[in-house]
Structure 1
Amino acid sequence: MKLSANEAAKRTGKSVPTITRAIKSGKISAEKTGKGGYLIEPSELFRAFPAITEPNDETPPMLDSETHKRYPHETLSLQEKVSSLEVALADAKAERDEWRDQAKRLAMALPAPEAAEPEKAGQKHGFWKRLFG
């Protein structure tokens, strides 16, 4: 079923002049009618311009309810796994916090680093002297 330029404009949300310009520029191929209009294949039209969808008041069916009905044992199994992973995550976070606190306590208990002893005046030795004594 071929579409007129007017119908093509309605289905794509474009204006009729936009559709006819696309035909004249070669972006869309179409047949010219005897009255001067154009007939456009829908596949050719939607290749160049995306189709618009009309708003639909229907709510799409929810997959969630079907999943519970079809696979209840699998759903329960997955919920148990999620619960056990949440518990393991909470344990890991608590352990991490304990290690962090212990590292802070140890860092505060360390003695301050001593300053390196300044070399005695006149006792500086070059690399070769230190190497071979």
Structure 2
Amino acid sequence: MAYTLGEAAKASGKSKATISKAIKSGRLSAVKQDTGVFRIEAAELHRVYPKTVDGNQDRTPQTVSQTLENTPSVKELQARLEAVQERLTDRDTVIADLREDRDRWRQQATALLADQRPVPQPVTEPAPQPDQPVVQPPKGFWKRLFG
């Protein structure tokens, strides 16, 4: 009997990644088919990973019953789910309100900034007097730096 990677993982109680790593490292031998699917012989799998029953082989009946006692019931889980959904709805409402406030503040700030900005006046240079010589600024960087 040969297992696929997923079947081998279920039979051994390990993850598919663990089985794949064991194959790649050479600890576990497998045949890779043309389709890319691994075929792992049962004897080879259980040589490396002893057979388990639903991953509960190492549990005693006492620990299994204790685990069942501690698991929440379906009604309790539904109640928790409803509470979480209600909290999410409340948070969505708060987020929507905060976004509205932000947009209002942004509009108000934009309007205030528009009112406070000075109107730019055209810059006019005084016309040179006919009796004063026209002074040209130095052209190059070094001339401007050192005069």
TM value normalised by structure 1: 0.37
TM-score (norm 2): 0.34
